[in-house]
Amino acid sequence: MTFPLAGCTLSGAFAHVPAAFAPAASAVFNQAGALGIGVVFQPGTCADGLDFRFEVPGLAPIAGRLLGWADGRPDGASELTVQAASGLMAVHGRASGGARPLGVDYVSTLAASLALQGTFAAAIGQLRGSGHTQVDVSLAGAATLAIGQYLAGATAPEGAERLLPGCTSPRERPPFTSADGVVFELETLDAEPWRRFWNGLGIPGELAGKGWSAFLLRYAKAVSPMPGELMEALSRLPYAVIAERCAEAGLSICPLRSLIERLEDDDLPLLLEHGPWHFTPGTSGLPPTTLGGRGDLPLSGLRVVESCRRIQGPLAGHLLALLGAEVIRIELPGGDPLRGMPPLVDGCSVRFDALNRHKQVCELDIKSARGRAELLELASQADVFLHNWAPGKAAELNLDHADLARVNPALIYAYAGGWGEDARLHAMPGTDFMVQAYSGVARQIARRSASAGGSLFTVLDVLGGVVAAQGVSVALLKRGLRGEAGRVDSSLLGAATLLCTTELLALRDGKAPVEPPVAGVYPTAAGLLAIECRDAAEVERLRYALDCPLDAEPALRDEQIVRCLASRDAQAWQSLLREFGLAASAVREDLSAVHEDGRIAPCLRTEAYTLVKSPWSFT
Give CA 343 to chain center in angstroms: 23
**pLDDT mean over 300-311:** 96
Q: Are 485 and 286 in contact (CB under 8 A)?
A: yes
Provide the percentage of residues in the chain whose pLDDT is more than 90.
83
The pLDDT, as a whole number, for residue 15 is: 84
Euclidean distance between CA atoms 598 and 53, whole angstroms: 29
Residue 167 clears pLDDT 80, i.e. is over it: no
Quote the pLDDT of residue 450.
76
pTM of the shown model: 0.96
For residue 294, the model assigns a pLDDT of: 62
Q: Which helix (H) or strand (E) holds 104?
A: none
414, 379 Cβ separation under 8 angstroms: no
Whole-angstrom distance, CA of residue 140 vs CA of residue 603: 7
Checking if the pLDDT of 603 tops 50, the result is yes
Alpha-carbon span 324 to 125, nearest angstrom: 10
pLDDT of residue 618: 96
- Give the Cα separation of 613 and 183 in Å (integer): 38
Q: Across residues 179-194, what is the average pLDDT?
A: 96
Can you give the pLDDT at residue 169? 52
CA 19/CA 25 separation, integer angstroms: 10
Q: Above 70 in pLDDT, residue 5?
A: yes
Least confident interval from 286-300, 360-374, 577-591: 286-300
In the prediction, which pLDDT does 291 show? 55
Which one, of 61, 20, 43, lies nearest residue 585 by Cα? 20
How confident is the prediction for the chain on average, in pLDDT?
A: 93
608 CB-near residues (< 8 Å, 6+ apart): 156, 157, 345, 346, 350
User: Is the peptide bond between 343 and the residue preceding it cis, with omega within 30 degrees of 0?
Assistant: yes
**Interior CA angle at 209 toward 205 and 214, to 5°?**
150
CA gap 108, 140 in Å, rounded = 10
Residue 286 contacts residue 480 (beta carbons within 8 Å): no
433 and 460 in contact (C-beta within 8 Å)? Answer: no
In sequence order, what are the residues at sequence separation of 6 or more whose Cβ sits closer than 8 angstroms to the Cβ of residue 341? 220, 349, 351, 352
Average pLDDT over residues 466-486: 96
CA atoms of 226 and 231, how far apart (whole Å): 7
Tell me the mean pLDDT in the region 107-135: 96
Task: Report whether pLDDT(290) > 90.
Answer: no
